[in-house]
Amino acid sequence: MTMTLRKPLAGALLSLLMVALALVFVFPFYWMALTSLKSQGHVYTRPPEWLPTFFTTGNYKEVLAIFPFFRYLGNTAYAAFLSAVGQTLCSAMAAYAFARMRWKGRDAFFLVTISTMIIPTSVFAIPWYLLYWKVGILGTLTPLWLPYWFQHPFIIFLLTQFFRGIPESLSDAARIDGANDYGIFLKIIVPLAKPALFASFLLHFIFMWKNLMIPLMYINNEKFFTLSVGLQTLLGGTVKPPFSQVMAAAFMASLPLVIVFLLFKKWIFTGIAASSLK
């Protein structure tokens, strides 16, 4: 086979592989949406109905009557937004100190900071729980966003790599004009790092939206439940709704996240790719 035929064939095979993988990942979401539109009698039919033969929106109406979706949605959006803002802002400042400022022990401290990524979150569960209990914020939404204003090693690493790729000559020119580190950070680094900053914000926003373990540990008041905790209680309650209604609730909880990803996927991919290349 000639070289001129190998390249198109390899490209076609790679495209088919990507399509197959995409279908594997999309299928659970499709099946969830399909099940949410089925009546309970059609959920467990054999053989399964791969294409819808009968639609009903009654599952959504019935689950909204027992599942306070909009309250949970507000709690989730509030916690995810505040935590994403905090980690982006504080991680950007820490990344600037590691990437553009020279101080004794910088590289060693950066290595220690990055190495904390290998520590499981469960290790901090009990100390955090006791701390939140002592300061009186246990059971509220505050523990879901406040800690991320002080640490996020992966985002620090991501932004540090991006900041190091920005030419030093821009900072030197600004210093000649009298700018200090605050001015350089706000007027030069931040505008040039918008793709990486926005990608960091979205990555953490998505992480917090779907996180179950953290809200489950620190929230014991139904008033402050997030969507993930609400779905868990819906599944584990004493009165379990039909499976089609559970799928309707899960679809409503997932849809905002899917919309956010589809709208801003370009920013996510651009920011991560630029950080890795730099």
- In the chain the domains, ranked by start, together with CATH numbers, are 67-277 (1.10.3720.10)
Write the DSSP symbol of residue 193. T
Specify the pTM: 0.81
Residue reference for tokens 């917090």: 208
C-alpha distances (whole Å) from 58 to each of 43, 65, 199 are 14, 11, 38
Tens-binned pLDDT, residue by residue, of the chain (278 aa)? 555 656 677 777 888 888 888 888 888 888 888 888 887 777 777 777 777 677 777 888 888 888 888 999 999 999 999 999 999 998 899 889 888 888 888 889 888 888 888 888 778 888 888 988 998 888 888 888 888 887 678 888 888 888 888 888 888 888 888 888 888 888 888 888 888 888 888 888 888 888 888 888 888 888 889 998 888 888 776 667 778 888 888 889 888 888 888 887 777 677 666 555 45
Residue reference for tokens 């998505």: 206
With b for 16 or more beta-carbon neighbours within 10 A and e for fewer, the 106-141 pattern comes to eeeebeebeeeeeeeeeeeeeebeeebeeeeebebb
Q: Give the burial class of 219: count Cβ atoms within 10 A of its Cβ; 0-12 exposed, 13-18 middle, 19 or more buried.
A: buried
